[in-house]
Amino acid sequence: MAPLPGAPPEYAGVTLVRGEPVGVLDVGLALTGRSSFALEAGTPSRSSVLIVLDSKGGLRYALLAERVDGVEVIEDAAIEAPPQDSPRLSGLVAEGSRFLALLSIERLVANPASSRDTARIPPAGESNP
Protein backbone atom coordinates (compact mmCIF):
# COMPACT_ATOMS: atom_id res chain seq x y z
CA MET A 1 0.00 0.00 0.00
CA ALA A 2 1.32 3.42 -0.95
CA PRO A 3 0.55 6.54 1.13
CA LEU A 4 -1.62 9.37 -0.25
CA PRO A 5 0.22 12.62 0.58
CA GLY A 6 -2.17 15.40 1.53
CA ALA A 7 -5.15 13.06 1.95
CA PRO A 8 -7.21 13.10 5.17
CA PRO A 9 -5.72 10.80 7.84
CA GLU A 10 -8.63 8.35 7.44
CA TYR A 11 -7.24 7.40 4.04
CA ALA A 12 -4.56 4.82 4.74
CA GLY A 13 -3.27 4.94 1.17
CA VAL A 14 -3.82 3.42 -2.23
CA THR A 15 -3.34 -0.16 -3.34
CA LEU A 16 -3.65 -2.09 -6.59
CA VAL A 17 -6.58 -4.46 -7.01
CA ARG A 18 -6.39 -6.49 -10.21
CA GLY A 19 -4.06 -3.85 -11.62
CA GLU A 20 -6.35 -0.90 -10.80
CA PRO A 21 -5.56 1.72 -8.12
CA VAL A 22 -8.04 1.70 -5.24
CA GLY A 23 -8.17 4.14 -2.31
CA VAL A 24 -7.99 2.50 1.11
CA LEU A 25 -10.05 3.88 3.99
CA ASP A 26 -9.10 3.03 7.59
CA VAL A 27 -12.56 2.17 8.97
CA GLY A 28 -11.50 2.33 12.61
CA LEU A 29 -10.06 5.81 12.21
CA ALA A 30 -13.06 7.03 10.21
CA LEU A 31 -15.64 5.75 12.71
CA THR A 32 -13.93 6.24 16.07
CA GLY A 33 -11.11 8.72 15.53
CA ARG A 34 -8.40 6.15 16.18
CA SER A 35 -7.10 3.30 14.14
CA SER A 36 -8.18 -0.06 15.46
CA PHE A 37 -4.87 -1.65 14.48
CA ALA A 38 -1.23 -0.67 14.09
CA LEU A 39 -0.08 0.67 10.76
CA GLU A 40 3.67 0.53 10.58
CA ALA A 41 5.39 2.40 7.77
CA GLY A 42 2.21 2.41 5.71
CA THR A 43 1.78 -1.35 5.91
CA PRO A 44 -1.25 -2.96 7.58
CA SER A 45 -0.58 -5.38 10.42
CA ARG A 46 -0.86 -9.12 9.81
CA SER A 47 -4.29 -9.22 11.42
CA SER A 48 -5.69 -6.42 9.22
CA VAL A 49 -8.27 -7.21 6.57
CA LEU A 50 -8.72 -5.38 3.28
CA ILE A 51 -12.33 -5.46 2.08
CA VAL A 52 -12.85 -4.43 -1.54
CA LEU A 53 -16.31 -3.13 -2.43
CA ASP A 54 -17.92 -1.97 -5.65
CA SER A 55 -20.44 0.83 -5.15
CA LYS A 56 -23.75 1.19 -6.93
CA GLY A 57 -22.16 4.00 -8.93
CA GLY A 58 -19.44 1.70 -10.23
CA LEU A 59 -16.63 3.03 -8.02
CA ARG A 60 -14.38 0.62 -6.15
CA TYR A 61 -13.34 1.17 -2.54
CA ALA A 62 -11.11 -0.71 -0.14
CA LEU A 63 -11.79 -0.70 3.57
CA LEU A 64 -9.01 -1.52 6.00
CA ALA A 65 -10.47 -3.19 9.08
CA GLU A 66 -9.25 -4.99 12.17
CA ARG A 67 -11.25 -8.13 11.37
CA VAL A 68 -14.37 -9.52 9.68
CA ASP A 69 -16.72 -11.36 12.00
CA GLY A 70 -18.87 -12.80 9.25
CA VAL A 71 -20.64 -12.26 5.97
CA GLU A 72 -24.41 -12.35 5.81
CA VAL A 73 -27.05 -12.14 3.11
CA ILE A 74 -29.73 -9.70 4.18
CA GLU A 75 -33.12 -9.48 2.54
CA ASP A 76 -34.25 -5.95 1.65
CA ALA A 77 -37.43 -6.44 3.69
CA ALA A 78 -35.35 -6.93 6.87
CA ILE A 79 -33.69 -3.51 6.58
CA GLU A 80 -35.14 -0.78 8.78
CA ALA A 81 -34.53 2.94 8.36
CA PRO A 82 -31.58 4.27 10.38
CA PRO A 83 -31.97 7.00 13.02
CA GLN A 84 -32.27 10.43 11.37
CA ASP A 85 -29.10 11.66 13.09
CA SER A 86 -26.98 8.84 11.65
CA PRO A 87 -25.95 10.12 8.22
CA ARG A 88 -23.39 7.36 7.61
CA LEU A 89 -25.86 4.50 8.05
CA SER A 90 -28.03 3.18 5.25
CA GLY A 91 -30.13 0.99 7.53
CA LEU A 92 -30.44 -1.25 10.58
CA VAL A 93 -31.21 -4.95 10.76
CA ALA A 94 -32.59 -6.52 13.93
CA GLU A 95 -30.86 -9.84 14.59
CA GLY A 96 -32.01 -11.49 17.78
CA SER A 97 -31.26 -9.11 20.67
CA ARG A 98 -28.87 -6.93 18.68
CA PHE A 99 -28.82 -4.66 15.67
CA LEU A 100 -26.52 -4.77 12.68
CA ALA A 101 -25.67 -1.29 11.42
CA LEU A 102 -25.40 -1.05 7.64
CA LEU A 103 -22.83 1.54 6.64
CA SER A 104 -23.35 3.65 3.56
CA ILE A 105 -19.96 3.26 1.92
CA GLU A 106 -20.57 6.19 -0.43
CA ARG A 107 -21.35 8.52 2.50
CA LEU A 108 -18.46 7.19 4.58
CA VAL A 109 -15.95 7.69 1.77
CA ALA A 110 -17.34 11.12 0.84
CA ASN A 111 -16.62 12.57 4.29
CA PRO A 112 -14.88 10.08 6.60
CA ALA A 113 -14.07 12.48 9.43
CA SER A 114 -17.73 13.38 10.00
CA SER A 115 -18.56 9.68 10.36
CA ARG A 116 -17.60 9.92 14.01
CA ASP A 117 -20.58 12.25 14.55
CA THR A 118 -23.15 9.48 14.09
CA ALA A 119 -25.61 8.65 16.82
CA ARG A 120 -25.10 5.74 19.16
CA ILE A 121 -27.05 2.64 18.14
CA PRO A 122 -28.87 1.35 21.22
CA PRO A 123 -29.15 -2.35 22.10
CA ALA A 124 -32.50 -3.97 21.31
CA GLY A 125 -35.20 -2.84 23.71
CA GLU A 126 -33.44 0.44 24.56
CA SER A 127 -34.57 3.67 22.97
CA ASN A 128 -32.21 6.18 21.37
CA PRO A 129 -32.35 9.48 23.37
In-domain check, residue 126: no
**Structural domain that includes position 45:** 11-117
CA-closest candidate to residue 42, choices 12, 11, 81, 20: 12
In-domain check, residue 127: no
Split at pLDDT 50, 70, 90, the class of 55 is confident
Q: How many domains does the chain have?
A: 1
Split at pLDDT 50, 70, 90, the class of 98 is confident
**Average confidence score pLDDT of the chain:** 77
pLDDT value at residue 48 = 78
AA letter at 113: A
